[in-house]
Copies of this chain bind each other. A is one copy, B any other.
């Protein structure tokens, strides 16, 4: 399952977004439209006004083959705040144990009129595979796919940068840490690139840096002190122990020493630089606590934007489905 295939399968016959599997292949206009709608959905504390109920009568099924509380809750709240029914399926304890194929599980949910399937899996390929087989009115949203793709995370990162920094063309953005295992890095990179980021940097210890051909146009560093110098945005990544073999897991203290985002290193960035992290954080490993909790940290804003971005994607995907449907009838 190549990423290219995912990019193709997610558009409908009229070129509109039908599923969201990857940010690859989305135009600047498409991403901007999603961010604009997300901005409309952002709720500040105390703001309880319902934006719209565009998912009323619809059913969203969360299928998480890999456990995730924060992303599952974010999608669940996004769907419910738009009026949808939400069902959660813990796929570890599901029919899979009775020998059912994933596709049969999908067909079952589809036959129960689940309209949108939100899927997370530790292996690559499932969302695009499923998207090929679902009925015309059913949409697939990728909520995290192996190390490959996490498109709503990429969008929320882009929204966060846009809110705080405005014009992408003027920005130097650094993605730092365990890049090789990170779907967050891949999706953020696609979003930033498409939105025209002035300069994109990646920094990782050599053993956690993918080959250059995967990220054309990116400035690569294995020295974090060099990489961070003069940047406007620092996105640091979680050390993903769960995706490493035991011998590959770096020692926490030495990782922090050689690669952690510390106060001292923040001093090398631009004075108004912001710091992002997709969570959950390993404090004092990839990021020092003072950095995570400082005024430059936009980590909680990323979470707030995550709900808004997921509302925007749900509403857009469904509006496109309805347009196809009225075209067909």
Contact (Cβ within 8 A) B325 A101 = no
Whether A93 contacts B76 by the Cβ 8 Å rule is: no
Interface residues on A, range: 35 or more
Verify if A226 is at the interface (C-beta below 8 Å from B): no
- Chain B CB within 8 A of A300 CB: yes
Contact A304-B111, Cβ < 8 Å, known A57-B50, A98-B280, A280-B104: yes
Question: Would you give the 0/1 interface string for A185-207, flagging 1 where the beta carbon is closer than 8 Å to chain B?
Answer: 00000000000000000000000
Q: Is A7 on the interface with B (CB-CB < 8 A)?
A: no
Tell whether, in the assembled complex, residue B109 and residue A73 are in contact, meaning their CB atoms are under 8 Å apart: yes
From B280, B281, B285, B307, give the contact of A112 (CB < 8 A).
B307
List residues of A (41-87) whose CB comes within 8 Å of B's CBs. Answer: 43, 45-46, 48-50, 56-59, 61, 67, 69-70, 73-74, 76-77, 80-81, 85, 87
Most interface-central of A87, A101, A109, A299 (chain B CB within 10 A):
A87
Closest residue on chain B to residue A300 by CB atoms:
B111
Instruction: State A58–B81 Cα separation when bound (angstroms).
Output: 10
Which residue of chain B has its CB nearest to the CB of A107?
Answer: B300
- Whether A303 lies near B76 (C-beta < 8 A) is no
Give A220 to B159 CA distance when docked, in angstroms: 63
A137 at the interface (CB under 8 A from B): yes
A99 located at the interface, meaning its Cβ lies under 8 Å from any Cβ of chain B in the complex: yes
Q: Are A46 and B325 in contact (CB under 8 A)?
A: yes
Neighbouring B residues of A50 by C-beta, 8 Å: 57
B-side contacts of A109, CB under 8 Å? 73
Task: Tell me whether A48 and B43 are in contact (CB under 8 A).
Answer: no
Q: How far is the CB of A323 from chain B (nearest CB, A)?
A: 12
Apart from A48-B56, A69-B90, A111-B302, 8 more pairs, CB < 8 Å: A69-B89, A80-B85, A95-B279, A99-B281, A104-B283, A107-B303, A112-B306, A112-B307
Closest 6 CB pairs of A and B: A100-B280, A48-B57, A111-B303, A111-B300, A69-B94, A95-B280
